[in-house]
């Protein structure tokens, strides 16, 4: 056998630190602006950021943190959180970002499961830390992201981040670590059972940053000022803290105030061109803008993902405010980006209605990710835009297994996402449901997301969820649960009539329930499991009508 001829290029490892080092060296004076917990606006540059990230690395090493150990964060989007990203991963420790909106018991579980050595926290979370600390005896220290003057009064002894960082000189070289070493640990939000950890590597993080930066993916650029509303505690803010230094984009961090007014003012004052967040956040922003009668003067593009972007929201952004919406799909297990909605040259020559229909979908895969839909027998389904199937993915930034779990989640080398989708002839993905939320009516599948999108387009609807409700003849039929927009009225009949001509007749929900609010997960997704529980005993009018004629229930009082 002949020896394979190896390439003769430099073997430079793909390390997370190289992203910040690149920005510090080549975009050294580009700004990072943060609205701080202290109440003011903090500004510095990539050069300053790298300097302080190095000081943090020195401080953590001095505290005895070893490469491979986990250092956790409980923090909003801000410059200190960015320093924590790089100051931990930079010397081989693992940055474990924790979602503070989870229940304290879940957070304690996560900290203990991850075996975190230290936890860095924003002072807003001091009361939470006091609840967590007694449950997490193995944590060696809790570090408040503040100077001594801003250390909060708390029962848990806390160190001051600024004191620790200030004691170091930053004279430190990032070590060349193996690119397969772990970089970040992110737990899924765990709507059922305990959260599971996705452990990224330096290589997967850097490749994901490359992919995210491509023009037909997020398409970040040094000409952008990017404001990630998506939290840095949720799947690394979709990779923006890595793609921004890679491309040299200016970063603007909103801190803890994510209401419409605060976001709008920050976007305007910092001339933000690019943003990213979940639909719920944009709802708040758009409501504020409508009431205040204001427009964007600099925002050009925004990524919307995490849940399906209602087409009505997409239209408002594009038609009323001239902002391009990039609908994106992904998940924690995918670092998170998988698909984004951007048109090819040929697609952009088609009639406007066709272009819009494509852009409402979750989009085209980025290089690096491959996807397929499979039927119940595991066989691949056609890409015809009609066949629904379980969505499977694979690629260098998709997980192989969960942290500290032995069993493989993969099926034939592919990761089953738990989402149900169609893929059309244009290779555009359309997520129709989580597999457990699909509504199965008489053996046919109805997409709850499509039904919610129609309801949301009604002017009197603030939020909508569609769930399966038991039905004697069809097994399940859709029930629409609606929160009315303040000051608006709408009846059940008017809402059901609103569906006419927009979806197949047999998809139209059987009933509407009005509620004051809908349950959400810690990452802002609808908690349909809880909603189904709430409406477990709901009787559909159509079920009552059918019951008298149904052979299964006729004359059976127990049914
Ligand atoms: P997470 O791991 O918390 O980011 O959640 C990932 C899940 O969110 C996916 O598996 C989808 O069910 C859902 N999701 C994310 N983006 C979208 C989107 N654009 N449309 C519909 N569902 C989405």
What are the tokens at 449? 């997301």
pLDDT of residue 190: 61
238 is catalytic: no
Is residue 550 very low, low, confident or very high in pLDDT (cuts 50, 70, 90)?
A: very low
Ligand 1: does its nearest atom lie under 6 Å from the Cβ of 189?
yes
pLDDT band at 2 (very low <50, low <70, confident <90, very high): confident
Cα 524 to middle of ligand 1, angstroms: 10
Number of residues that this document lists for the chain = 559
Interval 146-191: pLDDT, tens:
999 999 999 999 999 999 999 999 999 999 999 999 999 999 976 5
Label residues 257-286 b or e (16+ Cβ within 10 Å = b).
Answer: ebebebbbebbeebebbbbbbbbbbbbbbb
Active site residue 528: no
Domain 437-547 has CATH 3.90.1150.10: no
Q: What is the pLDDT of residue 445?
A: 85
Tokens of 293: 């009668």
* Domain range summary for the chain, segments of one domain joined by +: 16-423, 437-547
Residue range 16-423 in CATH 3.40.50.12780: yes
Give the DSSP letter string of 437-460.
Answer: G-EEETTEEE-HHHHHHHHHTSTT
Cα(535) to centroid of ligand 1, in Å? 24
User: What DSSP string describes 225-253?
Assistant: EEEE-S-TTTGGGGGHHHHHHHHT-EEEE
Of 270, 333, 360, 547, catalytic: 333
Q: Percentage of residues in the chain with pLDDT exceeding 90?
A: 87
Helix axes 260-269, 279-292, angle to 10 degrees: 80
pLDDT higher for 410 or 556? 410
User: How many other CB atoms sit within 10 Å of the CB of residue 29?
Assistant: 8
pTM reported for the whole predicted model: 0.91
Q: What is the pLDDT of residue 191?
A: 59
Q: Check whether 218 has a pLDDT greater than 70.
A: yes
Catalytic residue selected from 124, 256, 445, 553:
445
Contact indicator for 171, 184 with CB cutoff of 8 Å: no
Handedness of CA 265, 271, 275, 279 (dihedral sign): positive
The pLDDT tens digits of the residues spanning 251-271 come to 999 999 999 999 999 999 999
Centre of ligand 1 from the C-alpha of residue 98, in Å: 18
The ligand 1 atom at the shortest distance from the C-alpha of residue 434 is 12
Report the 10 Å Cβ neighbour count for 435: 16
Ligand 1 pocket residue status of 187, Cβ below 6 Å = no
Atom nearest to 333 CA in ligand 1: 2
Band of pLDDT at residue 556, cut at 50, 70 and 90: very low
**Closest alpha carbon to 88 in 132, 41, 143:** 143
The CA 545 to ligand 1 mean position distance, Å, reads 37
CA-nearest of 152, 156, 24 to 83 is 24
Tokens of 277: 């967040």
Mean pLDDT, the chain, whole residue set: 94
Which of the residues 440, 444, 475, 506 is marked catalytic?
A: 440
Q: Is the peptide bond before 458 cis (omega within 30 degrees of 0)?
A: no
> For ligand 1, atom 20, which residue shows the shortest CA distance?
308
Dihedral of the alpha carbons of 149, 154, 158, 160, in degrees to the nearest 10: -10
Query: Is 440 a residue of the active site?
Result: yes
**Per-residue pLDDT at 436:** 87
Ligand 1: does its nearest atom lie under 6 Å from the Cβ of 71? no
Residue 34 CB–ligand 1 contact under 6 Å: no
The reply to whether ligand 1 has any atom less than 6 angstroms from the CB of 336 is: yes
């Amino acid at each position: 056998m002949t020896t394979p001829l190896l390439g003769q290029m430099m073997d430079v490892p793909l390390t997370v630190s190289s992203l910040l080092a690149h920005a510090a060296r080549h975009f050294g004076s580009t700004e990072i602006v943060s609205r701080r917990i202290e109440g003011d606006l903090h500004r510095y540059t990539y050069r300053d950021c790298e300097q302080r990230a190095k000081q943090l690395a020195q401080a953590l090493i001095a505290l005895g943190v070893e490469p491979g150990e986990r250092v956790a964060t409980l923090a909003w989007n801000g410059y200190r959180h960015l320093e924590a990203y790089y100051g931990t991963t930079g010397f081989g420790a693992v940055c474990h970002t924790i979602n503070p909106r989870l229940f304290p018991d879940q957070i304690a579980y996560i900290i203990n499961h991850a075996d975190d050595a230290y936890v860095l926290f924003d002072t807003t979370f001091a009361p939470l830390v006091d609840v967590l600390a007694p449950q997490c005896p193995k944590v060696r220290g809790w570090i408040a992201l503040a100077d001594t003057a801003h250390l909060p009064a708390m029962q848990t002894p806390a160190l001051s981040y600024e004191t620790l960082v200030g004691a170091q000189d930053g004279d430190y070289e990032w070590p060349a670590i193996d690119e397969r070493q772990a970089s970040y640990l992110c737990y899924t939000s765990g709507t059922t059972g305990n959260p599971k950890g996705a452990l990224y590597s330096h290589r997967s993080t850097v490749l994901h940053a490359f992919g995210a930066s491509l023009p037909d993916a997020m398409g970040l650029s040094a000409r952008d000022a990017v404001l990630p509303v998506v939290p840095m505690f949720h799947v690394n803010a979709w990779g923006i803290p890595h793609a921004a230094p890679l491309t040299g984009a200016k970063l603007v961090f909103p801190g803890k105030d994510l209401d419409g007014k605060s976001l709008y003012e920050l976007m305007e004052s910092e001339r933000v061109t690019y943003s990213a967040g979940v639909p719920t956040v944009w709802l708040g922003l758009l409501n504020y803008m409508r009431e205040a009668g204001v427009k964007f003067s600099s925002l050009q593009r925004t990524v919307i993902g995490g849940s399906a972007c209602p087409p009505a929201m997409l239209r408002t952004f594009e038609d009323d405010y001239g902002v391009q919406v990039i609908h994106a799909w992904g998940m924690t297990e995918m670092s998170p980006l998988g698909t984004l909605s951007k048109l090819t040259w040929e697609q952009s020559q088609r009639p406007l209605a066709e272009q819009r229909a494509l852009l409402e979908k979750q989009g085209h895969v980025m290089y690096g990710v491959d996807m397929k839909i499979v039927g119940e027998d595991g066989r691949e389904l056609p890409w015809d835009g009609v066949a629904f199937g379980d969505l499977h993915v694979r690629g260098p930034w998709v997980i192989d297994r969960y942290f500290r779990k032995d069993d493989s989640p993969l099926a034939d080398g592919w990761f089953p996402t738990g989402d149900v989708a169609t893929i059309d002839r244009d290779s555009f993905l359309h997520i129709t449901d989580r597999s457990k939320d699909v509504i199965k009516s008489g053996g046919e599948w109805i997409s709850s997301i499509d039904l919610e999108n129609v309801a949301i387009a009604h002017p009197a609807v603030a939020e909508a969820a569609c769930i399966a409700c038991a039905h004697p003849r069809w097994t399940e039929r859709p029930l629409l649960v609606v929160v009315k927009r303040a000051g608006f009225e709408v009846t059940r009949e008017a809402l059901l009539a609103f569906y006419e001509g927009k979806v197949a007749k047999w998809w139209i929900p059987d009933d509407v329930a009005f509620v004051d609010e809908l349950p959400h997960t810690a990452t802002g997704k609808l908690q349909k499991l809880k909603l189904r529980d709430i409406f477990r005993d709901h009787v559909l009018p159509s079920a009552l009508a059918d019951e008298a004629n149904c052979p299964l229930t006729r004359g059976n009082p127990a049914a």
